[in-house]
Amino acid sequence: LYVLIFFFQAEDGIRDVERSRGLGDVYKRQVHGDSIDMEKKSYRPISNSILEAVGNTPLIRLNKIPKEEGVECEILVKCEFMNPTGSHKDRMAQNIFEEAEKAGKLKPGGTIIEATGGNTGLSLSFVAALRGYKSVIVATSHTSQEKVDLMKGYGADIIKAKNTLFKGPDGLLALSQRIHESIPDSYLTLQFENMAGPLAHYNTTGEELFEQTGGKIDYFFMAMGTGSTISGTGKKLKEKIPSVKVIGCDPVGSLISQPDGKGTYVPVKTEGVGLNFVPNTCDKKVVDDWMRFTDKDAFITTRRLMKDEGIMCGGSGGGILWSAMEFAKKNKLTKDHRLVVILPDTGRNYLTKIINNEWMFEYGFITEAEYRKLTMEDSMMPEKRSGDDIPLKDCACAEIKVLKLDSTIQELSLIHIS
């Protein structure tokens, strides 16, 4: 008897040690009343740099929103906002620097220049700071103040343009070129042409999704900015899963989803998407079908994600999820189908915009009744706005004045031309 007692006590002791070390123990947790086996995962080892934390983002199953919308299929969201700067652009930025350094296009202590809606500039200035480069970022008029402040925090010089147009003689790309010509040892990263972008997602995002899902993906949804994510990831997924369908999500008013890339461009409030041209980094042959969303579709869904699923993403993520759910309803997808949605960036970049009730009311995305219910106030209502802060017809261009001191930019100011 004593021998048996000793044996069982010893066995329990060994199990306790195994649990403390995390050696193959299987834990139970309760989610919505269902018991789920979760094998304990290994922790990341010590990283030599924050750059090693780029990628390997979580894939989360949505629960409440699909059910409320009557969507039967499984929807998984790839949380790219958990990259170091809060967006999927960290993947592209890291690869852009690596490829440029290999090709000898970047000189030590040089300056990178980029035109951006914000996230690319944020990621590039982040990587530039770590690799010892300067950065000059040309941002659109709609780039959130949060993004501007964060880029400044990484040491970037910011030029906030008077419009949202990238292409054309008065666009941000032309402005970036003029800055490049005025700064010695500078390098234009050119996110809309640089194939290091799609390659980054082909090598990382596509591989991650395949491994995370065990190769079970029926539909993949992503919005179009540069098109790098959908092009690179879509290409890899189609190689690994021939049956997968890639669905492009584009805001109403963008020319990317137009068959010939032509038409009437209408600026949108959703940052990072909606262009007046089709970038070279966008491989439309990868896309099997298109869904189009409005700013209101995107922003209302973004706020629902935060409230109902606890997921704080940016406006484009809301637009992509709205598109996925509408696609599922339209095509009567069943519980046997799995949809994967990219959530490109964090909602923390939009605390003064999408997350802000006053801003949502001022631009007509929520009604007065909705605003009063949200704020529980009967005080004076905010002044309503319409359209752009600056009328499009007055956004012809901006001439740049560059003041230099010791070969570095001390001030970059824009002189608006009416």
Query: Residues 224-255: pLDDT tens digits?
Result: 999 999 999 999 999 999 999 999 999 999 99
335-to-9, 62, 160, 242 alpha-carbon distances in Å = 47, 13, 46, 21
Provide the residue type at 322 as one letter: W
Can you give the pLDDT at residue 385?
67
Catalytic-residue membership of 330? no
- Dihedrals φ, ψ of 166, to 5°? -95, -50
| Choice among 15-29, 160-174, 240-254, 308-322 with the minimum mean pLDDT | 15-29
Q: What is the pLDDT of residues 129-146, one digit of tens each?
A: 999 999 999 998 888 999
Residue tagged active-site, from 64, 78, 89, 269? 89
For residue 127, is pLDDT > 60? yes
Q: How far is 249 from 51, CA to CA, in rounded Å?
A: 29
**Threshold 0.75, pTM exceeds:** yes
Q: How does 235-266 read in b/e, with b if 16+ C-beta sit within 10 Å?
A: bbbbeebeebbbbbbbbebbbbbeeebeeebe
Task: Give the other-Cβ count within 10 Å of 106's Cβ.
Answer: 24
Angle between helix axes 228-240 and 196-203 (nearest 10 degrees) is 40
Q: Where are the beta strands (DSSP E) in 286-366?
A: 289-293, 338-343
In the three-class reduction of DSSP (H, G, I as helix; E, B as strand; rest coil), residue 22 is classed as coil
pLDDT of residue 168: 80
Cα distance between residue 89 and residue 406, in whole Å: 32
Mean pLDDT score of the chain: 84
Nearest CA to 91 among 204, 223, 208? 204
Top-confidence residue, 24 or 226: 226
Q: Which of 79, 103, 71 is nearest to 189 (CA)?
A: 103
The rounded percent of the chain whose pLDDT value lies above 70 is 80
pLDDT exceeds 50 at position 175: yes
pLDDT confidence of residue 381: 62
The DSSP result for 146-176, as a single string, is HHHHHHHHTT-EEEE-SS---SSTTSHHHHH
The predicted pLDDT at position 170 comes to: 77
Higher per-residue pLDDT: 373 or 390: 373
Burial of 34 (0-12, 13-18, 19+ CB in 10 A): exposed
Say how far apart CA 128 and CA 126 lie, in whole Å. Answer: 5
8 Å CB contact between 50 and 130 = yes
Residue pair 417/397 in contact by the 8 Å Cβ criterion: yes
Which among 207, 205, 177 is positioned nearest to 189, based on CA atoms?
A: 177
